[in-house]
Amino acid sequence: MTTSATHPATTSVQQRTTRQKRALDQLLAACADFRSAQELHAELRAGGARVGLTTVYNNLRSLADRGAVDTVRTEGGETLYRRCESESHHHHLVCRLCGRTVEISGPVVERWADEAAAAEGFIDVRHTVEIVGTCRQCVRARPRGAVRR
């Protein structure tokens, strides 16, 4: 007896999960602008993928946690997603007014995060650092007198 063909149900769930993730990856790769989970879900459904909004949302959250997608929040509190330009770990400067994101590296932050975690004996550590502010264009577009230097 072999152990290779034991759990067919589990395998098919895993295969479906992988397919759903791949479809989402391809969709994110194809669009350069920010989309909401609902918009991405609608496009996946339109493309024939049988996937629920919760699954799309969860996949986006885990991609965002890994730093594979950029997120911005609209003024209405909705989160929009876009695939990161940079594949490796990085951080973002995010404009709170227009949502413009700039990818930045933070060697000092990396060292500090590793050391702080190691000092407390933590392993498998990850961190999220986003710097939110008002970008240069938005500062220029502000009415006179609104900007203090």
**Residues at the contact surface with Zn ion, assessed by CB under 5 A:** 70, 84, 95, 97-98, 100, 103, 110, 135, 138
Shortest separation between residue 136's beta carbon and Zn ion, angstroms: 8
Shortest separation between residue 129's beta carbon and Zn ion, angstroms: 6
Query: For Zn ion, which is the closer residue by CB, 43 or 103?
Result: 103
Shortest separation between residue 41's beta carbon and Zn ion, angstroms: 22
Q: Which residue's structure tokens are 């007198």?
A: 145
Query: For Zn ion, which is the closer residue by CB, 39 or 110?
Result: 110
**φ/ψ (deg, to 5) at 71:** -125, 145
Query: For Zn ion, which is the closer residue by CB, 17 or 137?
Result: 137
Task: Tell me the DSSP string of 78-110.
Answer: -EEEEE-S-SSS-EEEEETTT--EEEE--HHHH
Q: Sign of torsion, CA 62 66 70 72? A: positive
